[in-house]
Structure 1
Amino acid sequence: MENNKLETATFAGGCFWCTEAVFKRIKGVERVLPGYTGGEVKNPCYREVAMGLTNHAEAIQIKYNPALISYQQLLAVFFATHDPTTLNRQANDVGKHYRSAIFYHNDKQYEIAKRVIKELNATIYNHKIVTELTLAKPFYNAESEHVDYYDLNKEQPYCQAIINPKINLLLTRFKSVLK
């Protein structure tokens, strides 16, 4: 697959270890990078982001083949594998850097995300979706110890308690989009 045929999606759904682990398992997803986006500081580090000094979110940037997986399908997985109705929090992870956000890269992504949020608010969620819908800003790759974190640390208690349920949901609810 030539890189020029790949599209980019950027999501923040709490801890990037979780979102990276989920989206790595989706067909058509060629690459998932954990990192930081949405803030004002250039080249932030994990400690700065975690301390709330940069306004960045922990996020993932996905390169995907739209012939194999649509942006709308990616959004379905995104919304199902985190709670988009809690502001600046996912499970025990609290702070603006754990916010739910979609960083759209073009008008088409914006329109699709806006429509999906409207549909989910009307049909699925009892509380209003608080996911930010924001134009993509520079994305800064996370430090190497955050890459493939789940796959390298499956026995770690956080992975078992927080990430395993997301993977199990993916395996049962999204079989048609798995690699």
Structure 2
Amino acid sequence: MVFAMPGFVARLTRPFMTASFLGVVPENGIAAAATIPDGAQEAIVAAGCFWGVEHIYRKHFGDKGLYDARVGYVGGHTKNPTYRAVCSTETGHAEATQLIFDPSRITYAQLIDFFYRIHDPTTKDRQGGDRGSQYRSGIYYRNSEQKKIAEEITAKANAQWYDNSVTTEIVEAGQWWDAEAYHQLYLDKNPSGYQCPTHYVRDLPPLQ
């Protein structure tokens, strides 16, 4: 499949638009932290530009037990990272999506299976035209059960779908940092905004 690359102007303006561009000016520019309902669980994944990842999870699981999907930063070595700093690749963070879900309606395994259907996990530090370690493919687990599930599904996806070329890292989540407020629900607020061309649901057979 041939993908259209984002326009030159869109690529230039994408990283550093201000919150006021969307009419949202939160305190210090930082989004409020998510509230996790009783009994809910958290999953964190990175699959390139976080706008598209958040949007596609909401679209497919919004009525199936997904309470919230937020964009932010994980896997780095500095505190309070900003988007500009993360884009420099010097903080070590990945653009990531935090999924808060009802485990009685949707499982962690289903969310990870879907993760491998919606991006290209074989291109190290790159999705489409977006290049840099912040665009790496990653699963960031919170406990040993999540780690086990992530490793099992990754092994199957690697063997059955991606010809043993998966580059996805599976590491303990560590500190989650919410991205600035103007990034949250970005594609809902800007339907014609930039979206990475690798973010679509692939028609792949069930994993065995």
If the length of structure 2 is used for normalisation, what is the TM-score? 0.76
Paired letter, 1:5: G
1:162 aligns with 2:206: no
For residues 19-98 of structure 1, the aligned pairs below 5 Å read 19-25=53-59, 26=61, 27-98=64-135
- Which amino acid in structure 2 is aligned with residue 80 of structure 1? R
Residue 163 of structure 2: aligned partner: 126
2:176 is matched with which residue? 139
Give structure 1 stretches of 5+ with no counterpart. 174-179
How many equivalent pairs are there?
A: 166
| Corresponding residue to 2:142 among 93, 102, 105 | 105
Name segments (4+ residues, structure 1) moved above 4 Å. none
More helix by share: 1
Instruction: Supply the RMSD in Å over aligned alpha carbons.
Output: 1.7
Task: Give the equivalent residue in structure 2 for 1:4.
Answer: 38
State percent identity of aligned pairs: 37
Determine the C-alpha separation between the residues in 2 that align with 1:147 and 1:64.
Answer: 17
Q: Deviations along 1:25-74, whole A, 9 cap, x unmatched?
A: 21211011100010000000000000112000000111100111111110
State the 1:155 CA deviation.
1.6
- With structure 1 as the length reference, what TM-score do the two structures score? 0.87
Q: Do structure 1's residue 15 and structure 2's residue 49 form an aligned pair?
A: yes
The DSSP-based 3-state class of the residue aligned with 2:116 is helix
What's the counterpart of residue 177 of structure 1? none
Structure 2: runs of 5+ lacking an equivalent? 1-35
